[in-house]
Amino acid sequence: MLNSEDEKNYREYFRTTLYQLAKDQTILSDKEKFKIIVHFLDIIYKDGDFRHYYSDIYSIITSIDKDPSKGNLEILSQNISYIKDHLDDKLCENTKNSIRKLYDHANLDIARINYIKALQDRNLSREQEIISLQNKLNTKHEELSGSFEKMENDIKDLYANILTLMGIFVAVFAFIAVNSNITFELTQSNQADIFWGIVEINVFVAICIIVLLFTLKLFIIKPLKKGRRCF
């Protein structure tokens, strides 16, 4: 039975070995290094007292995944698989079974992390597609808003121009009507008095027309062009 100090040392040796296996893809191609690593694993596993911790394996794998300088998960998986497939028949069953479990546990966590990363990449890709689509919609909305605003301004300008023309036509019609009536009176009364009457009335009508056009521009046309309602 392992005491707490021995177990602590075995766990530390175990973690160190996994980091070594994660860093060098060719470490096991050297027969001497391969024997040393297997011998070490045999020492900690053969009595059956030491069992590696899932938490140790998971912490090592996540640490390597976050920091590539500590190793590579694919290399770690390949090296553990190589050890499992090249075990010496002389090794005790405890060691063989523990190494098989190590292979299974490590690859399970590696597969889980790779799956999570794949999901994250997929979600990121979808998020980027959504953002791109949203940007396109915003651009289209701005274009349509600009078109509607221009159309609205054009309609207001057209309406203002129509009102201006109507005011001018009304003023001209009033001017003609007044002068026609005065001309008719001129044939029947004192011409001198009627002449000055024509001048006075025309001046008055001209002033009224100017006031009308100025009022039309100030209170109707100008607010329309500024986009305000005139009440």
What global pTM score does this model have?
0.54
Residue reference for tokens 């129509």: 162
Structure tokens at 79: 């090296």
Per the prediction, the chain carries an average pLDDT of: 78
Say if residue 75's pLDDT is above 90. Answer: yes
Model confidence at 127, pLDDT cuts 50, 70, 90, reads: confident
How many Å from the N-terminal Cα to the C-terminal Cα in the chain?
97
131/128 Cα distance (integer angstroms): 5
Residue 177 or residue 45, greater confidence? 45
Residue 163 or residue 67, greater confidence? 67
Mean pLDDT on 115-141 = 81
Residue reference for tokens 């190590």: 102
pLDDT digits 0-9 by tens, 51-66: 888 889 999 999 999 8
Say if residue 31's pLDDT is above 80. Answer: yes
Alpha helices, DSSP H only, in the chain?
A: 4-23, 31-45, 54-66, 73-85, 93-186, 191-216, 222-225
Torsion sign across C-alpha atoms 180, 184, 189, 190: positive
Neighbours of 37 (CB within 10 A): 18
Could you tell me which of 41, 42, 46, 49 has the C-alpha nearest to residue 2? 49
pLDDT digits 0-9 by tens, 167-183: 666 666 666 666 666 55
- The confidence score (pLDDT) of residue 181 equals 60
121/114 Cα distance (integer angstroms): 10
Residue reference for tokens 């694993």: 41
Residue 120 half-sphere exposure, CB side, CA atoms within 13 Å? 6
Listed by start position, the domains of the chain span 4-128, 148-225
Model confidence at 82, pLDDT cuts 50, 70, 90, reads: very high
pLDDT digits 0-9 by tens, 4-15: 888 888 889 899
How much is the CA Rg of the chain, to the nearest whole Å? 48
85/79 Cα distance (integer angstroms): 10
- The confidence score (pLDDT) of residue 196 equals 66
